[in-house]
């Protein structure tokens, strides 16, 4: 299982791995629904839309490529069962998965609100191939290593979790002293650490040795027993391997996600609306940026070339408020990961663009701010200096995110030396401004380690 994507996540999960232990006749079969067949899959869903034509071939390809790593080729005589729920709420109401988990898996079976859930699929393959009993640190680590999910943009330098605390890793623990967002971030960080650990073991010793270790370590193992089993299978200590994997902060990822090989999303495409299937990537190799609108709490873009490069785009908790992001990222192909609670038709890639958002005077088209919903400008990490033409027709509250470490932001009435009237926009505060045709944003040595986000909220909308 895995933490849900997005930040609207709540918690409890106690000793839930017990339910995965039996490989057996106790798997739930939550509904029959519409049944489609791939070479290795029996796919159940209850959607209105057709399955996308590439979905079942992609699942088959995934089963083969992961199967070749874990030493167990899929067999068409023994199909994996996939239950695609319509929403997270529907999954939760079924009671077939642990409470609040984003999906779950059994040997050869996946239950998920996602049409193509690589994390749960990886569990289903390994549970079927390696059998139990298994330990949560290793089984979650293997699922993350094989799926790049959940995605995390972390280096562990100086603040890596301790493996001893992750032996019973099981999603988000309730913690009254933390906000939901902090709790969620902590869970994703723990999963990422487990993934880095197992990815490192597989790279150094091979998947077969990792499988041997996996099969020897039961759930509920003590620290001492874990260390003992570890040193019987591998010629090293847990502490040493843990520090190798997490110490440098460059713990590599995982098996490339086959969704990255699909044709990219096109301008104007309403994501996920036309058919039930895998998400097509956002192509910022040929394009520099994109304008994306959605309703919901947020979404993530995950780099196809390096899964540790992920970027989070915040939305709104309010159900009816649409948010627009105008984003520029380092050149790459990205997979979109969004909260499945969203109706997919409310999520649209409006357009790509080919120019840098910030440049000299007159270089770019004015960026149109929305008049009735927030627009967030997302500039790539690093240093940014230059001008950005704006167009708007009303009053906005503009709020540069505190992740911008230093630099100066001003709103001017003209570009360049001709700018006679500029007003400062401090970072971490909300400043009321009027944006009309001909307004310019002046950015002077903006430095940000993450995306530099500048939010414009029309004053008629609650910020
Ligand atoms: Zn999992």
User: Which range among 12-16, 153-157, 216-220, 223-227 shows the weakest confidence by mean pLDDT?
Assistant: 12-16
Exposure of 272 by Cβ count < 10 A (0-12 exposed, 13-18 middle, 19+ buried)?
buried
Question: Using CA atoms, how far apart are residues 344 and 439, in angstroms rounded to an integer?
Answer: 34
Cβ-proximal residues to 328 (8 Å cutoff; 6+ apart), any chain: 288, 289, 356, 357, 378, 379, 380
Q: How far is the CA of 120 from the centre of ligand 1 (A)?
A: 6
Given this model, what pLDDT does residue 248 score?
60
Question: Using CA atoms, how far apart are residues 299 and 8, in angstroms rounded to an integer?
Answer: 12
β-bridge mates for residue 404, sequence order? 448
In contact, 90 and 113? CB cutoff 8 Å: yes
Look up residue 34 and give its two tokens.
């519409």
412-437 pLDDT, tens digit each: 999 987 777 899 999 999 999 999 99
Q: How far is the CA of 167 from the centre of ligand 1 (A)?
A: 13
Q: How far is the CA of 137 from the centre of ligand 1 (A)?
A: 10
Among 341, 403, 9, smallest CA distance to 182 is for 9
Given this model, what pLDDT does residue 283 score?
93
Residue 339 has pLDDT above 80, yes or no: no
Look up residue 123 and give its two tokens.
């569990």
Given this model, what pLDDT does residue 253 score?
55
More confident residue, 36 or 186: 36
β-bridge mates for residue 263, sequence order? none
User: Which range among 109-118, 144-153, 384-393, 410-419 shows the weakest confidence by mean pLDDT?
Assistant: 144-153
Among 116, 135, 117, smallest CA distance to 20 is for 135
Question: Using CA atoms, how far apart are residues 85 and 115, in angstroms rounded to an integer?
Answer: 8
Q: How far is the CA of 48 from the centre of ligand 1 (A)?
A: 28
User: Which range among 38-42, 192-196, 249-253, 353-357 shows the weakest confidence by mean pLDDT?
Assistant: 249-253
Phi, psi of 390, rounded to the nearest 5 degrees: -120, 155
Q: Looking at the chain, how many residues does it have?
A: 463
Given this model, what pLDDT does residue 358 score?
94
Q: Give the chain's domains with CATH numbers.
A: 34-247 (1.10.390), 258-458 (no CATH)
358-374 pLDDT, tens digit each: 999 876 789 999 998 99
Q: How many CA atoms lie within 13 A of 365 on its CB side?
A: 8
Instruction: Give the three-state DSSP class for 20.
Output: helix
Confidence label for 341 from pLDDT (cuts 50, 70 and 90): low
Q: How far is the CA of 72 from the centre of ligand 1 (A)?
A: 19
Confidence label for 334 from pLDDT (cuts 50, 70 and 90): very high
In contact, 298 and 365? CB cutoff 8 Å: no
Helices 55-70 + 118-130 axis angle, to 10: 40
Confidence label for 26 from pLDDT (cuts 50, 70 and 90): low
> Mean of the pLDDT values across residues 369-387?
94
Average pLDDT taken over every residue of the chain: 84
Q: How far is the CA of 169 from the centre of ligand 1 (A)?
A: 9
Residue 251 has pLDDT above 50, yes or no: no
């Amino acid at each position: 299982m895995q933490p849900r994507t997005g930040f609207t996540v709540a918690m409890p999960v106690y000793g839930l791995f017990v339910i995965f232990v039996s490989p057996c006749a106790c798997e739930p079969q939550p509904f029959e629904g519409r049944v489609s067949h791939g070479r290795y899959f029996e796919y159940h869903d209850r959607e209105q839309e057709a399955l996308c034509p590439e979905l079942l071939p992609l699942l088959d390809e995934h089963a083969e490529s992961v199967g070749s790593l874990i030493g167990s080729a899929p067999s068409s005589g023994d199909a994996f069962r996939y239950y695609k729920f319509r929403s997270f709420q529907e999954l939760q109401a079924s009671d077939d998965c642990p409470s609040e988990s984003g999906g779950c898996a059994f040997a050869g079976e996946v239950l998920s609100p996602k049409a193509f859930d690589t994390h749960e699929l990886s569990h289903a393959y390994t549970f079927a191939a390696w059998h139990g009993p298994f330990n949560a640190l290793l089984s979650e680590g293997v699922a993350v290593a094989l799926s790049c999910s959940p995605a995390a943009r972390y280096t562990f330098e100086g603040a890596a979790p301790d493996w001893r605390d992750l032996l019973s890793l099981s999603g988000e623990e309730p913690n009254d002293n933390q906000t939901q967002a902090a709790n969620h971030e902590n869970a994703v960080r723990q999963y990422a650490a487990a993934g880095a650990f197992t990815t490192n073991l597989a790279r150094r010793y091979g998947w077969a040795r990792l499988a041997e270790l996996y099969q020897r370590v039961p759930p509920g193992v003590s620290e001492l027993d874990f260390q003992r089993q570890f040193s019987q299978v591998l010629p090293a200590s847990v502490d040493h391997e843990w520090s190798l994997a997490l110490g440098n902060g460059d713990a590599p990822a995982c098996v490339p996600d086959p969704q990255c090989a699909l044709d990219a999303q096109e301008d104007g495409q309403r994501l996920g609306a036309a058919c039930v299937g895998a998400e097509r990537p956002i192509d910022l190799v040929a394009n520099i940026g994109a304008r994306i609108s959605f309703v919901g709490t947020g979404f993530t873009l995950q780099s196809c070339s390096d899964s540790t490069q992920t970027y989070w785009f915040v939305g709104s908790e309010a159900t009816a408020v649409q948010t627009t992001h105008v984003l520029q990222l380092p050149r790459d192909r990205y997979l979109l990961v969004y909260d499945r609670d969203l109706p997919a038709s409310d999520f649209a890639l409006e357009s790509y663009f080919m120019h840098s958002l910030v440049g000299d005077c007159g270089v770019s088209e004015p960026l149109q701010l929305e008049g009735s919903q927030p627009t967030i400008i997302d500039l790539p990490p690093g240093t940014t200096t230059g001008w950005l033409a704006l167009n708007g027709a009303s009053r906005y509250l503009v709020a540069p995110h505190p992740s911008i470490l230093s630099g100066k932001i001003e709103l001017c009435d003209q570009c360049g030396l001709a700018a006679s009237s500029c007003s400062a926009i401090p970072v971490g505060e909300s400043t009321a401004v009027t944006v009309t045709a001909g307004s310019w944003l002046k950015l002077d040595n903006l430095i940000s380690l993450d995306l530099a986000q500048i939010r414009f909220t029309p004053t008629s909308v609650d910020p």
